[in-house]
Chains A and B, each alone.
Chain A
Amino acid sequence: MSGFGVETLWVLAFLPFAVAPLLRSALRASRFSAIDAAPRDGVSRAVAVGLKALGAGAIAASILAAAAPYRAGAEHERIGEGADIVFLIDRSGSMNETFAGRTPAGSEESKASAAKRLLQGFVDRRAHDRVGVVGFSTAPLLLMPMSDHRTAIKAAIDAVDRPGLDYTNIGRGLAMALAMIGSGERDRSRAIVLVSDGAGVIDPRIQDDLRAEMKKANVALYWLFLRTAGSAGIFDEPDPEFDTPQAAPERHLDLFFRSLRVSYRAFEAEGPAATEQAVAQIDRLERRPVRYVEKRPRDELSGLVLGIALGCAVALLLAKLAEVRPPTREQGA
């Protein structure tokens, strides 16, 4: 896709003016009645042609520079490491508390802030990912469509430690994340990274839909569970009589994810440091070769053509300065 182009095309309409020097000279017309009065010689001819060419060159190059020419950057297909990733982020109110379950005070970091900081780092480290961001509380919220625009992705992640909403409804959020990733390219590895500090009961009807969708989309699922001190964990096994989805939603959500038969990992983090380790681990796991297209920046040619124009103009100027003054000025002029 390499090619030449100009920024403002219409300027090139002036290019024919560059023939002007072939018709007219910037040198003084001398008032000899006939050119035959001077003897013909090769050097003079060469100089005459050269000066015309210089004039044409100077004008053409200047007009070209006015059109801002460039050579388009070539697109190279490369192999790198990356994936299509959807961050599915819990925006329930409890995410604004610390891992100890308090309102952050002083230098304490809320779970949402920790998630924000670590996900930003994740995005920074991985240059070839395409990332989408989905938030969820009672309802799923599409925060940023999937793309490789770092600024947009980071603007969406930046907003996740703002005050959250009501409850945790993972089912619908997961459905939206799947819908987003389902439209991705087939040959890229795909993953959903669920970041939450709680779990909810997924409606059995939605469970079946999710199961089918997950299988179809062939995505890897990572659950980064930010565990608040004193709350139930993913891997705690309660007394059998309390072992229901309602009483132990975290454990049962984990069981549901396991039953999906997709590549699934759960990380339970009880503080910022553990969260960081988990994010680093996801980073390592989601490194499979992907094809990506690298577009090299285009080369500006303005400097080059201006240089040519300048060279021609300087030569013309020297020729002009070498002009011989006419011997006398006739009267009346």
Chain B
Amino acid sequence: MRKSALLLAICIAQVAVPGFAAPRVLRVLTHSSFAATPSVLAAFEAANGVTLQFSAGGDGGETLTKAILSKGNPLADVLYGVDNTFLGRALDADILVPYASPALASIPADLQTDPSHRMLPVDFGYIDLNYDRKYFADKGLAVPRTLEDLAAPAMKSLLVVENPATSTPGLAFLIATIAHFGDKGQATWQSYWASLRRNDVLVVNGWEDAYYNEFSEQGKGRRPIVVSYATSPAYELNAAADPKPAVPPTGNIIPEGASFRQIEFVGILKGAREPDLARKFVDFMLSESFQADIPMQMWVYPSNAKAAVPELFRKFAPVPSTPAAIDPAAIEANRDAWIKAWSQIVLK
């Protein structure tokens, strides 16, 4: 009732004031974890005489599905939040137009995984293992350093992972093990997961469930190692009550060559109503002012090499020297088969 009255009032107002120029609106479809400081966005709005209209599309996969389904008459002008596990699908669906933003000059080439410039890298982060410092100190256990360590008898029943069929961190970790072990020779990724299963790995469907219900550091759970983000310890320190501890309550385990780098991309949707503004917004997202806002807002690294990274990140969210090396095209081609094989090994 309230809303229909409001709607009616708006209609009347528009009829009554002919020539009333509405400000231009740029629609941005993002995943639900998108965050930015309001004043940073307001500066873009003021400079370009535009109102930004964000809509949250759920997680990365859901957001992309919505964008693909609304092909032709898209839900938005700009799409943000597709990551490199979904990049292949976004490109195959042919929903984006290329835009070689001048801002790409400040972005390292290895982040620019789409040579057609339809998807431009905005930020990146790493999926690795977090461990509960107190648990390992109390038990006098050595913290595992490698993927192989996790299959050792001392680590029995200590690890919780996410289902790669329903969770991005879960899929990222599976891909990291595939990149590390491969499927040839004596130790394959399949045999590795079979050994994790023998070591009583716990699988849950989502990161929230793993982190808040099963990870021991969060109070309730009893598993001291969890597949999570490399920035989670820094986040925990930042969120800790004052007086803050000197180090975060959790630590990172970054296995050599086996932490997955997740890159998130932005692109302009085909059929955008405001293509000029969309290009300006992409430039803005890659510019230093927006990029410097990224770490403390979204807890990932900015792609622009010139953007400042806070001290907290440098201390507690290290960038792995050798991340897992895997080709996005290989991910798109094999994702379903990998997940199926993984389910057979770990769940059945």
Is B one of A's binding partners?
no
Q: Taking beta carbons and an 8 Å cutoff, which residues of B are in contact with A?
A: none
